[in-house]
Amino acid sequence: MNLVRIHNKAWVLVGDGRKALFLRNEGDADLLDLRRAAVRLDDNPATREQGTDAPGRSINSVGGARSAMENADWHALAEHKFAESVAAEIDEAVRTGACKEIVLVAPPKVLGDLRKSLHGVTLKHVKGEVAKDLTHHRIGDIEQILGKLGKA
C-alpha cells in the first residue's frame, strides 16, 4: 500500500461519480483533522431512468443486413462529466493558490477520469491517490483510514 502523507492545509477530495467531498487538513500529517470545505452532489439516476428509446438499428447499404446499436450508458456519461467538472474546480483552486497540495480518494474509474481531466500543472500538486470509495463514510472514519495510510 502506498504511503499517503496529508500535510497541514492540504486538500483531500473524497469522491465518486455523483458526490465530491472537499476536505482540508487542519491538523498535521501524523494527526489528521479533516474539516469539510465543500460538498458537490450530482443527481445522476440509473441509465434505465434517463433513456426512454429503444436502441437504434442500422441497415447495411449492401445486402440489407440489420444490426442493433448499443444503448448509451447515460449514467456513466454523467459520472464522467461530473469528474470533469470536479477536475476543473481543482484546477481553478490550484491556479488561484487556494490549493497547494491535494490527495485524491475515489474508485479507480473515477481516479482515471480525474487524472485525464486535470491540467498538467495541477497534477504536480497531487500528492497521493487512494483507490477507494469512501464517500459514504463519516469524516472521522475517513481520518482513521487515511491516517493508517500515512504511517509506514
Mind listing the pLDDT tens digit of every residue in the chain (152 residues)? 467 899 999 999 999 988 999 999 999 999 999 999 999 987 655 555 555 555 555 565 566 565 555 666 676 788 889 999 999 999 999 999 999 999 999 999 999 999 999 999 999 999 999 999 999 999 999 999 999 987 75
Q: How far is CA 41 from CA 9, 19, 20, 21, 64, in A?
A: 23, 5, 7, 9, 47
Q: Which three cell numbers stand for residue 65?
A: 443486413
For residues 135 and 18, what is the distance between their CA atoms, to the nearest angstrom? 9
Closest CA to 4 of 143, 142, 149: 149
Residue 17 has what pLDDT? 84
C-alpha cell at 62: 449492401
Confidence (pLDDT) at 101 = 97
Taking residue 23's Cβ as centre, other Cβ atoms within 10 Å add up to 25
